[in-house]
Chains A and B, each alone.
Chain A
Amino acid sequence: NAGVTQTPKFRILKIGQSMTLQCAQDMNHNYMYWYRQDPGMGLKLIYYSVGAGITDKGEVPNGYNVSRSTTEDFPLRLELAAPSQTSVYFCATTPDRNSNQPQHFGDGTRLSIL
């Protein structure tokens, strides 16, 4: 059972570079989320998707873009990397927005921007 797979696990970028963080799930869940976690803090929502073709902004979307062309994949794009985007990024899924359903998280991508 793969669950939620995030790639890469680690990455170092230079300021102004771009990259795509990948998230893939094999649980056929409709809802997918991208969070970021800064040191010593809880997770903050960047973007989310309620199904293929539908995405929306979360609490901290500036500097990021997402797409959802399939149920399985939800990539997060950084167009112009900035030092403030140094963080750990987590992807999560859940079947729907029902409060009785747990969320499933990937192991994260640790991103440093120098």
Chain B
Amino acid sequence: DAKTTQPNSMESNEEEPVHLPCNHSTISGTDYIHWYRQLPSQGPEYVIHGLTSNVNNRMASLAIAEDRKSSTLILHRATLRDAAVYYCILREGPMNYGGSQGNLIFGKGTKLSVKP
């Protein structure tokens, strides 16, 4: 899986939007952009993923740059429960049969703190 770069930490106020950036300048055309988060003392939790177009689900939105070299996870109204480490991960496309075993390669992620 290709490499991603994220800030070590970010702070937000409760009920305000949060924009978590991720750079992935070496992304290939078939790589999907996945986001996971890990709440304290829990396992990672899937948040959202996308390929080229912006994506929305009940948890968050994913904005993908036109050149796909960066993306932003958007939490529209942060709550205290959103305080977690957020991981941006690239997963190789299905045609790369000689590549990964489908596992996720985790960096250190961005630790998000939410203030009341």
Contacts and interface: CB of A to CB of B under 8 A. Distances in A.
Interface of A: 4, 31, 33, 35, 40-45, 48, 50, 56, 58, 90, 92, 94, 96-100, 102-108
Contact of B44 (A40, A43, A50, A56): A43
Does more than half of chain B's interface fall in helix, strand or loop, or is it mixed? loop
Contacts of A41: 108
Contact of A106 (B34, B43, B100, B101): B43
A94 B109 contact: no
Given A97-B101, A107-B42, A102 B34 contact: yes
Given A31-B102, A97-B101, A99-B31, A42 B46 contact: no
Contacts of B107: 42
B15 interface: no
B92 A99 contact: yes
Nearest to B35: A102
Q: How many of chain B's residues touch chain A, expressed as a range?
A: 20 to 34
A106 B42 CA distance: 8
A19 B11 CA distance: 40
B30 A99 contact: yes
A33 B93 CA distance: 19
Contacts of B51: 100
B32 A99 contact: yes
A45 B102 contact: no
A32 to B, nearest CB: 10
B103 A107 contact: no
B16 to A, nearest CB: 27
Nearest to A90: B43
B10 interface: no
A83 B86 CA distance: 28
Nearest to B100: A97
Nearest to A45: B103
B32 A43 contact: no
Contacts of A43: 44, 104, 106
